[in-house]
Amino acid sequence: MGCFNPDRSDLDLIVVINGGMPEQPKRPFLDMCVDIDSRGPAKGIEMSVVREDVCSPFEYPTPYEFHFSRGHLDSVKTDPEAFIRRMRGTDKDLASHFSVICARGECLLGKPIEEVFSEVPTGYIMDSIRYDISDARESISGNPLYVTLNLARALAFREEGLILSKKEGGEWALTRIPEEFRPLISAALADYTESAETVYDTDLAVRYAGYMLDRLT
């Protein structure tokens, strides 16, 4: 998407396998994920392992065989075997991830994307987005960069069907939201693209989240 910033970005990876993932290989796979994460960008990696048969035809909520992200490191260090047992289930967020893969993704190894993934229905994408942003009013104060730009790209999809990066979403929103909120968007964009030292107006951010949620729901 042309906006990777090693100080602000993570790497989103989907691994597609032919069948289920047996328990035995999960521990060395987890160890590999931890190693890759330690050598990655500041926010590390987020990786889900899914079966090919849930990618086409698309299944929702989408089952996954394994998941890892930087936010789970404490659990991994405390009890890796318990973590492995928990990391299997369904994840609504995968609808959004799959839609990005189909529109903007790159295949690192294996079959072409169009041979593995079928189109994700718009209704599932919107349900996935609403699930992801449901706590935006509460979470924007603690994570203003991510929530501000994530809401912007969510609205771009809701109103124009666009699959955008956080940077592109922020740029799109600058001309489509009330002027009151544009300084917040501009600050988040500078923070995201330039790793700028940014002080956010918390009250403005909470009002922005409420406004965007009203347009999104």
Same domain membership, residue 20 and residue 69: yes
d(CA 23, CA 65): 10
Q: The pTM is what? A: 0.94
Provide the 10 A C-beta neighbour count for residue 13. 15
d(CA 7, CA 5): 5
Give pLDDT, residue 23: 87
Number of domains in the chain: 2
- Check residues 124 and 195 and name the one with the higher pLDDT: 124
Domain membership of residue 48 as a residue range:
11-122
Same domain membership, residue 101 and residue 73: yes
3 falls within a domain = no
d(CA 170, CA 174): 6
Q: What are phi and psi of 23, to 5 degrees?
A: -65, -35
Averaged confidence pLDDT in the chain: 96
d(CA 146, CA 55): 27
pLDDT category at 6 given cuts 50, 70, 90 is very high
Lookup result for tokens 């994920």: 33
pLDDT category at 15 given cuts 50, 70, 90 is very high
Same domain membership, residue 118 and residue 16: yes
pLDDT category at 165 given cuts 50, 70, 90 is very high
d(CA 60, CA 132): 15
Give pLDDT, residue 97: 98
Same domain membership, residue 63 and residue 164: no
Same domain membership, residue 171 and residue 209: yes
Give pLDDT, residue 113: 98
Please say if the pLDDT value at position 31 is more than 90.
Answer: yes
Q: Which of 122, 153, 174 is the last residue of a domain?
A: 122
Give pLDDT, residue 217: 87
Question: What's the whole-number mean pLDDT along residues 7-18?
Answer: 95
Same domain membership, residue 177 and residue 111: no
Please say if the pLDDT value at position 196 is more than 90.
Answer: no
Same domain membership, residue 200 and residue 110: no
58 falls within a domain = yes
1 falls within a domain = no
Q: Which of 122, 143, 174 is the last residue of a domain?
A: 122
Write the pLDDT tens digit of every residue in 62-93: 999 999 999 999 999 999 999 999 999 999 99
Same domain membership, residue 166 and residue 98: no
Q: Which of 68, 97, 122 is the last residue of a domain?
A: 122
57 Cβ partners below 8 Å, 6+ apart?
A: 118
163 falls within a domain = yes
pLDDT category at 57 given cuts 50, 70, 90 is very high
